[in-house]
Structure 1
Amino acid sequence: MAWSGELLHIHIAPSASYEMEEMNEARLVPGKGIVGDRYYLGTGTYSAKPDVREVTLIEVEVLEALAIGEPKLPGVKLQLAPMDHRRNLTTRGVPLGHLVGRRFRVGEVVLHAARMNFPCKYIEELLDMPDLFQGLLNRSGLNCSIEVGGTIRPGDKIVPLDD
Structure 2
Amino acid sequence: MEPSVPRIEAIYLAPLARAPMTIVSEATLVAGRGIVGDRYFDQAGTFSDWPLDHEFTLVEAEAIEAVASEYGIVLAPGETRRGVVTRGVALNALVGRRFQIGGLVLCEGTRLCPPCAHLEVVTGKGGLARMLAGRGGLRARILTGGVIRPGDELILLAPIPVAAYNTKQ
Counterpart in the other structure of 1:91: 86
Counterpart in the other structure of 1:124: 120
Q: Distance in 2 between matches of 1:147 and 1:111?
A: 5
Gaps of 5+ in 2: 160-169
Q: Distance in 2 between matches of 1:99 and 1:84?
A: 22
Q: What TM-score, normalized by structure 2, do the two folds share? A: 0.88
Shift of residue 4, structure 1, vs aligned partner: 4.0
Q: Distance in 2 between matches of 1:111 and 1:53?
A: 10
Q: Percent identity?
A: 42
Please give the residue correspondences for 1:1-163 in structure 2 after superposition, counting only pairs within 5 Å. Answer: 4-69=5-70, 76-107=71-102, 108-163=104-159
Q: What TM-score, normalized by structure 1, do the two folds share? A: 0.91
Q: Distance in 2 between matches of 1:126 and 1:38?
A: 15
Q: Pairwise CA RMSD of aligned residues?
A: 1.1
Change (3 A) 1:44 1:53: farther
Q: Distance in 1 between matches of 2:21 and 2:54?
A: 16
The structure 1 segments of at least 4 consecutive aligned residues displaced by more than 4 Å after TM superposition are none
Count of residues in Structure 1 that have an aligned counterpart in Structure 2: 155
Q: Distance in 2 between matches of 1:20 and 1:126?
A: 11
Gaps of 5+ in 1: 70-75
